[in-house]
Amino acid sequence: MNQERYATAGWLAITSVLLVIPSFLFSVLSEVGNRRFGWLVLVYLVFALLQSLFSLYAFYRFKQFLNLRCEFRDADPLIVTLICCGAAITLVGLAAKVSYTILGLPKAIVLGFALFFVVCAWAMSVVTIFYGLKMLRLGDDLGGLARPYAYLNIGMGACGATVLLLPFAMLAGLAGTVVMGIILVKADGAVAIPEYV
């Protein structure tokens, strides 16, 4: 039963990465179309919410996987912090998008959302560095993916903390989510993942 949940969580993690593309596309289109195409904002909200829910659920299941399969609990507080920060960033980002594009609130309010978003994202980046460092101490190599996963998290955190390298942080985060998904899918054992991945 738990194995099936790991595989499902793994596929949801990989799906969340794929959902970034339509989410970004509809975000840009909703900005260009502004109020004339309000339905684009709703489509964006659906994709962004699904993307976030899938990745946060997968990360929660990854925590359980580390606890039960690897008997590794050193990163638990960091994972919980990252899940809470991820949920907060998602909610604030969606609220900012709705307040600006649909409700037409003044930019001062939207700037407040943006400030909270930046502070929370910066804190999340710092915590991600420590999470990656904790993952380097994992006793299990997770089929050779533990170190790449840890280094991707360290890189994501370091790039995100500089703020200037945020696009690289996002790419490292997406790659890390795919690696986490592969680890969870391989935990099930039902699907053969090529070793070169």
Q: Would you call 197 exposed, middle or buried from its count of C-beta atoms within 10 A (0-12, 13-18, 19+)?
A: exposed
Nearest to 96 by CA among 87, 107, 85, 86: 107
The token pair that represents 31 in the structure block:
């900005």
Nearest to 61 by CA among 108, 16, 106, 127: 16
pLDDT tens, the chain, 197 aa long: 455 679 999 999 999 999 999 988 888 887 776 556 667 778 888 999 999 999 999 999 999 999 998 889 999 999 999 999 999 988 888 888 877 777 777 777 778 888 888 888 899 999 999 999 999 999 888 889 999 999 999 999 999 999 889 889 999 999 999 999 999 999 866 455 555 55
pTM of the predicted model as reported, rounded to 2 decimal places:
0.86
pLDDT of amino acid 10: 94
The token pair that represents 43 in the structure block:
């489509």
Is the separation of the CB atoms in 26 and 43 below 8 Å?
Answer: yes
Q: What SS3 state is found at 196?
A: coil
- Pairwise CA distance, residues 132 & 153, whole Å: 5
Nearest to 182 by CA among 9, 44, 23: 9
pLDDT of amino acid 189: 63
pLDDT of amino acid 42: 83
Domain positions in the chain: 2-184
pLDDT of amino acid 1: 46
